[in-house]
Amino acid sequence: MSIFKFKKFNVNQSNAPQKIGTDAMILGALANPNSIGFKNPKAILDVGTGCGVIALMLAQHFPESQITGIDIDDQAVQQADLNFKNAKLSPFDFKNDFQALHYNFLEYSPIHKLDLIVSNPPYFNTKMPSSDQQRSLARHESSMSLQELINHSAEILNESGELWLILPSERTEELVSGRLDLKLIRKIDIYGKPNRHVRDVLVFSKTDLVDITTPDTFTIRDGQNQYTEQYKALTIDFHFNQL
């Protein structure tokens, strides 16, 4: 059994196609009430939830919210559902309403519009021959393109809602130059180490475009391969062990 321990919950990832990594930690910790346009989103969706780790981090951020995690992989949904139920039984008393749904996001239509959508999506736009179809599905855009993810999000977000994505930095320019039904309102350049730009966190909304010519920056490790104070401060409420 593969258990990843957090301060307030544990995540069983034994059947998850993608194990917990830095991308999930960054997105789950950055999408917080101090940086989005509203303090208390009530309806939150995690697209491609996997084991449910980002959904659980958001539940810790927003204790009164309804959290839904959806995934096209049924085994991942079962894993997320187990982790959501265990969080409800934890001594930290998660009050959130959780759902784990086996769904193709492009066919998902909630009864009420959403306040916040997050996704650490499959981002390779080439086919990968693989004997592990579950892992391939989690990593490649075989069932949904990034453009489709953004445009369907526009249909189910409310007028002040936001979509947060984390992507390899080389995908950003191509993505934002396409026809999108949401506007890019924030960009955070993620550096694995100084001068090594590896990821972007992109925030989309229906609101008017703002000036993002100077993006925010975030660095995970320093030149000695140690976690930066910036990363430690961001994740201090989540990591079980002190970094």
Is residue 141 included in any domain, yes or no? yes
Per the structure, how many domains does the chain have?
1
| Dihedral in degrees, nearest 10, Cα atoms 150, 156, 160, 166 | -30
Is residue 106 included in any domain, yes or no? yes
Asked whether 73 and 138 are in contact (CB, 8 A), the reply is: yes
Per-residue pLDDT tens for 90-108?
888 789 999 999 999 999 9
pTM (two decimals): 0.89
Closest among 216, 183, 171, 196 to 34, alpha carbons compared: 216
Whole-number pLDDT of residue 242? 80
Listed as ranges, residues in the chain with pLDDT below 70 are 1, 33-39, 123-143, 208-214
Is residue 186 included in any domain, yes or no? no
Range of the domain at 117: 3-176+229-235
CA 2 to CA 181: how far, in whole Å? Answer: 39
CATH code where residue 137 lies: 3.40.50.150
CA 184 to CA 147: how far, in whole Å? Answer: 13
Is residue 183 included in any domain, yes or no? no
Per-residue pLDDT tens for 8-49?
999 999 887 778 999 999 999 999 755 555 568 999 999 999
Is residue 60 included in any domain, yes or no? yes
Alpha helices, H only, 66-217: 74-88, 133-139, 146-156, 172-176
